[in-house]
Chains A and B, each alone.
Chain A
Amino acid sequence: MDVLNAIVAFLNFVVIPATAYGAQLALGALGATLVYGVLRFSNFAQGDTMAFGTMVTILMTWWLQSMGVSFGPLPTALLALPVGIAVTAAFLLMTDRIVYRFYRQQRAAPTILVIVSLGVMFVMNGITRLIIGVEEQNFSDGERFVITAREFKEWTGLAEGLAIKTTQAVTLVTAVLVVVWLFWFLQKTRTGKSMRAFSDNEDLALLSGINPNRVVNVTWIIVAALATIAGVLYGLDKSFKPFTYFQLLLPIFAAAVVGGLGNPIGAIAGGFVIAFSEVFVTYAWKKVVTYLVPESMAPDNLIQLLSTDYKIAVSFIILIIVLLFMPTGLFKGKSG
Chain B
Amino acid sequence: MNKRNLLLFGLLAVLYLATGIFQSWNLAFNILNLGLLSAIMALGVNMQWGYAGLFNTGIMGFVALGGLAVVLTSTAPVPEGWAAGGWGIMAGLAFGVAVIFAGMQIYQRMAKGRARNLALFVLLVGGFFAYRAIFDPAVEAVEAFNPATAGNIGGLGLPSILAWPLGGLLAAVAAWMIGKIALGLRSDYLAIATLGIAEIIIAVLKNEDWLARGVKNIIDLPRPWPVPYEVDLQQSVAFLDWAARYGLDPVTSSSIVVKLLYAVLFGIVLFAVVWLSELALNSPWGRMMRSIRDNEVAAEAMGKDVTRRHLQVFVIGSAVVGFAGAMMTSMDGQLTPGTYNPLRFTFLIWVMVIVGGSGNNWGAVLGGLLIGWLWLIVESLGPGVMSVLTYGLADGVLKTHLVDSAAHMRLLTMGVILLLVLRFSPRGLIPEK
Chain A residues with a Cβ under 8 A of chain B: 41-42, 44, 99, 102, 110-112, 114-116, 118-127, 129-131, 133-134, 243, 246-247, 249-250, 253-254, 257, 305, 307, 309-310, 312-313, 315-316, 319-320, 323-324, 327, 335-336
Q: Find chain A residues with CB under 8 A from B415 CB.
A: 119-126
The answer, among B193, B203, B347, B416, for a CB contact under 8 Å with A323, is B193
* 5 A-B pairs with the lowest CB-CB distances in the bound complex, closest first: A122-B415, A126-B412, A126-B411, A123-B415, A316-B196
User: Could you jot down 28 A-B contacts, CB within 8 Å?
Assistant: A42-B188, A110-B187, A111-B55, A111-B187, A116-B419, A118-B350, A120-B419, A121-B347, A122-B418, A123-B415, A125-B411, A126-B408, A126-B409, A133-B405, A246-B342, A249-B195, A250-B199, A309-B206, A309-B207, A310-B200, A312-B196, A312-B203, A316-B193, A316-B196, A319-B196, A323-B182, A327-B185, A335-B186
How far apart are the CA atoms of A41 and B404 in the complex, in Å? 36
B347–A320 CB distance below 8 A: no
* Contact between A320 and B182, CB atoms less than 8 A apart: yes
Alpha-carbon separation in the docked complex, A80 to B330 (Å)? 49
What residues of chain A lie closer than 8 Å to B186, measured between beta carbons? 335-336
Contact flags B123-145 to A (C-beta < 8 A → 1, else 0): 00000100000000000000000
Question: How many B residues touch A, CB cutoff 8 Å?
Answer: 46
Is B203 in contact with A110, judged by CB distance below 8 angstroms? no
Question: In B394-433, which residues have CB < 8 Å from any A CB?
Answer: 401-402, 404-405, 408-416, 418-419, 422-423, 426
Contact with A along B369-401 (1 / 0, CB 8 A): 000000000000000000000000000000001
Q: A123-B415, A133-B404 are in contact. List 20 more A-B contacts (CB 8 A).
A: A102-B423, A111-B188, A115-B422, A121-B415, A122-B347, A122-B351, A122-B415, A126-B411, A129-B405, A130-B409, A133-B401, A250-B199, A309-B203, A309-B207, A310-B207, A313-B200, A316-B197, A316-B199, A319-B192, A324-B181
Considering only CB atoms, which chain B residue lies closest to A42 in the complex?
B188
* CB-nearest residue of chain B to A43: B188
Cβ of B12 within 8 Å of any chain A Cβ, yes or no, is no
Q: What CA separation (Å) do A83 and B414 show in the bound complex?
A: 28
Q: Which residues of B contact A111 (CB under 8 A)?
A: 53, 55, 187-188
Bound-state CA distance A134–B411 (Å) is 13
Q: Select which of B128, B187, B203, B422 is within 8 A of A119 by beta carbon.
A: B422
B412 in complex: contacting residue of A127, A305, A309, CB < 8 Å: A127
The answer, among B55, B128, B200, for a CB contact under 8 Å with A316, is B200
Min distance, Cβ A119 to any Cβ of chain B, angstroms: 4
Enumerate B169-194 residues with CB–CB distance to A below 8 Å.
181-182, 185-189, 191-193
Let me know if B326 is at the binding interface, CB within 8 A: no
Inside 8 A of B401's CB, which chain A residues have their CB?
133
Is chain A's interface secondary structure helix, strand, loop, or mixed overall?
A: helix
Within the complex, the shortest CB–CB distance from B268 to chain A, in Å, comes to 32
Which residues from B are CB-within-8-Å of A119?
415-416, 418-419, 422
Cα A129 to Cα B382 in complex, Å, equals 14
A99 and B419 form a contact (CB under 8 A): yes
A315 touches B196 (CB 8 A): yes
Q: A42-B188, A111-B187, A119-B418 are in contact. Are A312 and B200 (CB under 8 A)?
A: yes
Residues of B within 8 A of A134 (CB): 408
B199 near A320: Cβ-Cβ < 8 Å? no
Nearest to A253 among chain B residues (CB) is B192
Residues of A within 8 A of B341 (CB): 243
Inside 8 A of B347's CB, which chain A residues have their CB?
118, 121-122
Closest beta carbon of chain B to A241's beta carbon, Å: 13
Contact present for A110 and B188 (CB under 8 Å): yes
Contact of B418 with A129 in the complex, beta carbons under 8 Å: no
Please, which residues of chain A bring their CB within 8 A of the CB of B419? Answer: 99, 116, 119-120, 123
Contact of B199 among A123, A129, A312 (CB under 8 A): A312
**A243 to B268 alpha-carbon distance, docked (Å):** 36
Distance (Å) between the CB of A265 and the closest chain B CB?
20
Is residue B354 within 8 Å, beta carbon to beta carbon, of the partner chain? Answer: yes
Q: Please give, as numbers and ranges, the residues of chain B lying within 8 Å of A305 by CB-CB distance.
A: 128
Cα distance, A335 to B207, chains bound together (Å)? 35
Given contact pairs A41-B188, A102-B423, A122 touches B343 in the complex (Cβ within 8 A): yes
Q: Give the most central of B189, B191, B416, B423: most A CB within 10 Å.
A: B189
